[in-house]
Amino acid sequence: MEIDQLNLHMGYDAYDYQRDYCGLIDQAKVSGDNVLITMPTGMGKTLALYYAANNGKTLYVTPIRALSNEKQDEMPKMFPHLSILRDTGADRGNRKDFDYVNQDLIITTNERLLSMLNTNIQEDVMENVEYIVIDEIHLIGDINRGSALEWVIMSLKRYYPSVTIVGLSATLPNYKEFAEWLQAVYYYRPAEDRPIPLEFYFDDPVPYDLRRMTEKRRFKFNQLMRWQHKFKEQFLVFLSSKRDIETYAKRMAGLSEHATLEDIMQKGIAFHHADINEDMKDTVLDEFKAGNIRIIFCSPTLAMGVNLPATNCVIFDLSFWNDIGYYHELLPYDKLTQMFGRAGRLGYSDVGRVIMLGQEDELSGAKYFVENEQNTNSQFGRVMVDKVLNMIVNEHANTIEEIGEVIKTSFWIYQNKDLNYTEVVEDAILLLVKYKLITKYGSNYFATSKGKMVTRLYVSVHTVIDALHQLRNVKELKSFYDFFRIFLGNDEFLASVPFDERTDGKFIDATQRKFRDSKYMYDSLLVNVYDKDENAHIIMDKSEQLQKIIALMFNTELMSNLKIKPSKSTLMKFRRSAEGLVARLGQILSDDLKYKIKDTRFIGTLAMALKYGSLDERKLELYSIKGFGEKTIELLVSKNIDTKEKLFNTPFKTLKFYGFRPSEARFKRMKDEWKGIRQTSLDW
């Protein structure tokens, strides 16, 4: 479809520069190149997607589900002739009915596309694909998700060289370097070319003599009230806490804390964060676009590519509270630029205003980021060994030469030209052979059953190596702490746990008092940690970090007098992560563990301890009974009823006398279920 026909469907005429980059897409298709479009937010990069989808089967890859939903809702209205399919994490229940072949446009996320390329639907998805449009392609530099996106691009370049990759970004200062690696022609417009200029406001810092957080936030809220009276256009207000998002939205609407989202929307105000259901999120965005809502209080995820016509953007929280490290951390460059890029949208306003709220040091840091762009750097080195194992497991490459041919195509190797990719691969192979994750036959390498399991269960190779290393240095596992060293003594779990010897000694003391029976309490915990400066994993002692996080995860029992506690959601996140690692590593290390542990059922007890945040073995068996709350369990334990057998062999009348609250019928059902499970176990 020509650009003039596209204009008729869009309802507006493309700008000259948009015609230019669409022409570049046509040229790249003929020459076999890819395309990189780097322009400030608000200049209309999305037209590249419209153009591609109307000129051949297209995959549109986004970093977040909200952006996928927006395009799923928006594009059928503009282009009713297109057959469009969305496949993200929210659509997993419908996949058996998906027809990937006969689509004009498939909308997906980075991680879902990676999964598609590794499963049997790959051929259907990629059949007749002409273009792959990757939005926010600069996220290849994201520590957590960047390596997955890089692997997707490497796979596409290797297996589908005829498909044209179109990368879109608003913040990619080293665009020339990136375009060379991508084998792309590029279209670049500097920030000064932004059609809607930005005005930045850094004045009126929060005074340092305001010590309490409540005082600082009250001061910033009063600042916000003044700004929204001064400028009458729409506002996006970015905050880091979901609780604060809702609290300040209700406060500005003049309603009580019990008000619902529907209530405050009646006042022209709304809030938007991850815990709101998808339908309400869409309603909030639609009402904002229609002009019925003037102010949205939202989390930073809303800044990632979603098209909202906001003239004013307020960054309420320039830093976020790290409640494990007890310090404030300035927002990273990419998140900050994403947020202020929402201000001022083409066709909606003549100016965009970015209002920063914070103390003087926060404002100085934000101003530095505004004035000094930060390069995007590869994160592939962190997971390179994992990708080598992945290739061998899936038999995509089985010799050092074949693996080297893949690794050398990474942005990581491209940026670090001093690295010898052959030596890098040889070192990775030696490591995998040493820990029996792969084995050699002739010149080929093949995965062992353990290596296949590591890949299938999505466990980092270095996490497995750390666990095996800890196992080899113990004679017998007895204490909870001994198990924590094995399962949680790795950078995958401990990377976000800082330690400050000036303030964190109390955590170490609490853990050491609790586990003084462990023979290994005072031993070093040597862990593989990726050093970005060295471009390699180095060994570090992480025993203090492990002991600190144990004290925090079980603070109710270990540190009941702790004045400042991390949020329940933070601790739950750590416990869930730990529980998952125990389950997955337990499978991978099953053969290794049986020589070090007398009763393998203890691993289940460990998982239960993490799930419920308790180290009291008397309680843990009772926690597995569905519907029993903390008070019921405390009651039973106080009466020395600390196992299921004791519980179900106690007369119901006696339990009732003790204050047991569940009904007799419910107790009988639980007892019958326990008897059935117990008999099955005995028969086995």
Q: Over the stretch 434-471, which tens digit does the pLDDT of each residue have?
A: 999 999 999 999 999 999 999 999 999 999 999 999 99
Pairwise pLDDT comparison (192 vs 576), residue with the higher score: 576
Q: Is 650 helix (H, G, I), strand (E, B) or coil?
A: coil
Distances (CA, A) of 19 to 170, 188, 374, 583: 18, 14, 29, 54
What is the torsional sign of CA 170, 173, 174, 176?
A: positive
- 509 falls in which pLDDT band (50, 70, 90)? very high
Query: CB–CB of 526/469 below 8 Å?
Result: yes
User: What is the rounded CA–CA span in Å between residue 20 and residue 43?
Assistant: 13
Q: Which two tokens stand for residue 343?
A: 């201000």
pLDDT, tens digit, 9 for 90 and up, residues 571-625: 999 999 999 999 999 999 988 888 888 766 678 888 888 988 888 877 777 777 7
- The answer to whether residue 302 scores a pLDDT higher than 80 is no
Mean pLDDT of the chain: 88
The pTM (predicted TM-score) of the whole model is 0.85
Handedness of CA 573, 579, 584, 585 (dihedral sign): positive
Identify which of 196, 202, 299 has the alpha carbon closest to the alpha carbon of residue 245: 299
Place of tokens 């709220």: 357
Query: Where do the domains of the chain lie, and which CATH numbers do they carry?
Result: 3-192 (3.40.50.300), 198-371 (3.40.50.300), 380-456 (1.10.10.10), 461-615 (no CATH), 630-683 (no CATH)
pLDDT greater than 60 at residue 511: yes
DSSP string, 9-63: HHTSPPPHHHHHHHHHHHHHHHHT-EEEEE--TTS-TTHHHHHHHTSSEEEEEES
Residue 683 has pLDDT above 50, yes or no: no
Collapsed DSSP state (helix, strand, coil) of residue 172: coil
Residue 366 has pLDDT above 70, yes or no: yes
How many helices (H) does the chain have, and how many strands (E)? Answer: 33, 19
- pLDDT one-digit tens code per residue, 627-680: 777 788 888 888 888 778 888 888 888 888 888 888 888 888 888 887 775 555
Cross-strand partners of 343? 310
Task: Say if CB 203 and CB 355 are below 8 A apart.
Answer: no
Looking at the chain, the whole-number percentage of residues with pLDDT higher than 90 is: 51
Task: At 329, give phi and psi (nearest 5°).
Answer: -120, 125
Residue 296 has pLDDT above 90, yes or no: yes
Separation CA 135–CA 269 (nearest Å) = 29
Residue 130, pLDDT score: 95
- Could you tell me if 385 and 231 are in contact, meaning their C-beta atoms sit under 8 angstroms apart? no
Tens of pLDDT, residues 409-423: 999 999 998 889 999
**What CA–CA distance (Å, rounded) separates 343 from 139?**
20
